[in-house]
Amino acid sequence: MSGDGNENRTNRRAIDPVTANVIQGALENIAVEMGYKLMRMSYSSIIRESEDFGAAIIDTQGRQLCESKQSTPLQSGPIPGYVKGMHQLFEERGEVINPGDVIIHNSAYHGASHGPDVAFIVPVFIDGDKLVGYSVTTAHHLDIGALSPGSCGIVDAMDAYAEGLQFKALKAYDRGVKNEALWCILRDNIRASDLVVGDMEAQVAASRIGADRFLELIERYDLETVEAASDALMDYSERLMRQAIQELPDGSYSAIGHLDGFLDDPQRRDFQIAVTVTVTGSDLIVDLTGTADQCDDRPINMPLEGTVDCAIWLTLRSILLDSSVYGSIPQNSGLVRPIKIVAPVGCLANPIFPAPTIARFAPGNIVADTLMKALAEAVPTQVGAGVGNLKVVAFSGIKGEQHWVHMEIHEGSYGGRYGKDGMDAVDTLYANTRNNPIEDIESHTPLRVKRYELRDDSAAAGRWRGGIGSIREVEFLEDSFISVEGDGHKYAPWGFDGGAEGNTASLDYLDTGGGRTSLPSMMPNRAVKAGESLALTGTCGGGYGDPLTRPERDVLEDVLDGYISVERAKNDYGVIITPALELDSAATAERRGASGSGGK
């Protein structure tokens, strides 16, 4: 979901709500079909298993009409920005868009979320030469020709050029003719090129499918009707968002968050994220003034358009228009019309080219989490406590003359929220990707997963406990390489309303002699030997509410499930559990009474 959504067609015709909703359903099905077919045609696990891709239909004004709901918000959300950036570059070069064109685009300073998230844009024409919209897919690619293997963990990139190939709105197909020179550049400059280029060809096919389906929809209802329905649906989404904002008390709400950065480098660590939310009627401003200056030579900067905006929009939509309350809402550019984002030029959230941005994932999650913390004062029952951030690991190696590359997103966890415990071991906020099945990892790569389990005795205490991070230990069966980008080793997820802070993450390197070395959350490419292992320990989300008010039966269940120990049940919750693992309600009431609280 992206695009400013503020431009409206003149002379718009009225349309009945039934027809508008039928067309909305058809649009959503187009995007979903694009997404599923991209998954099924793709070679790499990051797309077919983790679902790190996006698909959307965009109108001629750059407004998003629909998106693939099974994909990640960080992929579908920026798509209108990709189209806007494409137009900007075409205008600068004096190029035109023709039927049969397919445009490849990944410039982080022209709408893309970062370089590895490559878009393929197919313009849609009717009557031969009338442009009516765009069918677009995006996907994260395992390698993009950066200074080291993989497309994550390139944390030593000194500028945008070191992050890999830049495709600034280039024609992969020109009037239906394949640009063979460009495809040769791709194959000759990307590691594991059969895999990566195969995924790109799948994107082209999926985008063309979306274009065909959009044409079929227009042929069935006519262009004027489809445009009228799109306008009405965007107005409806805008009304819902404005109504939700209007229910907030007018005023300003602020919070501060922190990013690990490079903990082994005193000059490049402990970055501040500042968020102030100002509500005036049905308008809302998110101001990031006070956020740390950009890091000129390390890639933890975030594109304002493509990462920061999506983090903010996703968080506001999730908090203010909770699907459990509002049901299904048309996911289009109307949702963002009431929202203005301010970020000083030259800060982490609005860097100046050529500042590198490839490792913007973890910082963007901190923006979202800090925004949620700011809103906690206004809507305490609609937010969760602090989330556990993620890690992304690139595993790679060489067999003969060929590279193999695997990307693993190691999940975090959610904080507790009003009425619900935090979710365990999931990708958080704008990530929303799935974990990789162990069977898939071990059948396609020289890796063995030795452990994959929830952390012991680590759930943050609260009336609603924090989610639990996972532990994954991966053994290298051959000499290989690893690189890591992540967060959460220093700053614990925040607790809310008396809840405890969450537990920080860790990363450990295990050698063949039994030695264990602690590694930072940001680690550039490093060689490893066969038989050695990497142990990833995920962050645990914060607790929500006074732990002494958690029902004693829930505390017992946590003990029986192995989430917390008997000792922690006593110390954190005031719940006494016997050696037979039964509740001692009388002793619990006495202990909680002495602490000034109680809960049944």
What span, in angstroms and rounded, lies between the C-alpha atoms of 307 and 516?
35
Task: Report the DSSP pairing between strands 283-287 and 339-342.
Answer: parallel
Q: Is the pLDDT of residue 11 over 80?
A: no
| Tens-digit pLDDT profile for residues 128-140 | 899 999 999 999 9
Q: What is the mean pLDDT of residues 384-399?
A: 94
> CA angle, corner 410, sides to 408 and 414, nearest 5?
150
What span, in angstroms and rounded, lies between the C-alpha atoms of 360 and 155?
10
Token output for 255: 């919070």
Q: Is residue 52 part of a domain?
A: yes
Q: What order of strands is seen across the sheet that includes strand 283-287? A: 251-261, 269-280, 283-287, 339-342
Whether 33 and 82 map to the same domain: the answer is yes
Q: Is residue 242 part of a domain?
A: no
Task: Report the DSSP pairing between strands 533-537 and 470-476.
Answer: antiparallel
Whether 401 and 423 map to the same domain: the answer is yes
Token output for 511: 């050698």
The proportion of the chain whose per-residue pLDDT surpasses 90, expressed as a percent, equals 90
Domain with 395, as residue range(s), is: 384-545
Which among 545, 565, 580 is the end of a domain?
545
Whether 388 and 482 map to the same domain: the answer is yes
Task: Report the DSSP pairing between strands 283-287 and 269-280.
Answer: antiparallel
| Tens-digit pLDDT profile for residues 244-300 | 999 999 999 999 999 999 999 999 999 999 999 999 999 999 999 999 999 999 999
Which among 184, 207, 237 is the end of a domain?
237
Q: In the predicted model, what is the mean pLDDT of the chain? A: 94
pLDDT at 195: 94
Q: Is residue 54 part of a domain?
A: yes
What span, in angstroms and rounded, lies between the C-alpha atoms of 137 and 408?
21
Domains held by the chain: number: 3
The identity of residue 362, as a single letter, is A
Q: Is residue 278 part of a domain?
A: no
Q: Is the pLDDT of residue 351 over 60?
A: yes
Q: Is residue 480 part of a domain?
A: yes
Q: What order of strands is seen across the sheet that includes strand 470-476? A: 447-454, 470-476, 533-537, 506-510, 516-518
Whether 535 and 562 map to the same domain: the answer is no
Whether 389 and 496 map to the same domain: the answer is yes
Confidence of residue 596 (pLDDT cuts 50, 70, 90): low
Whether 581 and 480 map to the same domain: the answer is no
Whether 491 and 558 map to the same domain: the answer is no
Q: Is the dihedral of CA 78, 82, 83, 89 positive or negative?
A: positive
Query: Which of 231-245, 365-379, 428-442, 529-543 has the lowest average pLDDT?
Result: 428-442
Say if residues 314 and 77 touch (Cβ distance below 8 Å).
yes
Q: Where are the alpha helices (DSSP H) in 491-542?
A: none
Q: Is residue 268 part of a domain?
A: no
What span, in angstroms and rounded, lies between the C-alpha atoms of 360 and 372?
19
Q: What is the mean pLDDT of residues 459-471?
A: 97
Phi/psi class of residue 127: alpha, beta or left (left: φ > 0; alpha: ψ in -120 to 50)?
A: left
Q: What is the mean pLDDT of residues 34-62?
A: 95
Q: Is residue 180 part of a domain?
A: yes
Q: How far apart are the first and last CA of the chain?
A: 43
Which among 545, 560, 582 is the end of a domain?
545
SS3 state at 296:
coil
Q: Is residue 420 part of a domain?
A: yes
Residue for token pair 């906690």: 376
> CA angle, corner 393, sides to 54 and 410, nearest 5?
70
What span, in angstroms and rounded, lies between the C-alpha atoms of 226 and 218?
6
Whether 113 and 147 map to the same domain: the answer is yes
Whether 60 and 201 map to the same domain: the answer is yes
Which residue has better confidence, 401 or 273? 273
Token output for 89: 């570059």
Q: Is the pLDDT of residue 15 over 80?
A: yes
pTM of the model: 0.95
Q: How many residues does the chain have?
A: 600
What is the Cα 383 distance to its own chain's centre?
Answer: 18
Whether 51 and 173 map to the same domain: the answer is yes
Q: What is the mean pLDDT of residues 176-190?
A: 97
Q: What is the mean pLDDT of residues 82-92?
A: 97
Whether 436 and 579 map to the same domain: the answer is no
Whether 519 and 405 map to the same domain: the answer is yes
Bridge partner list, 400: none
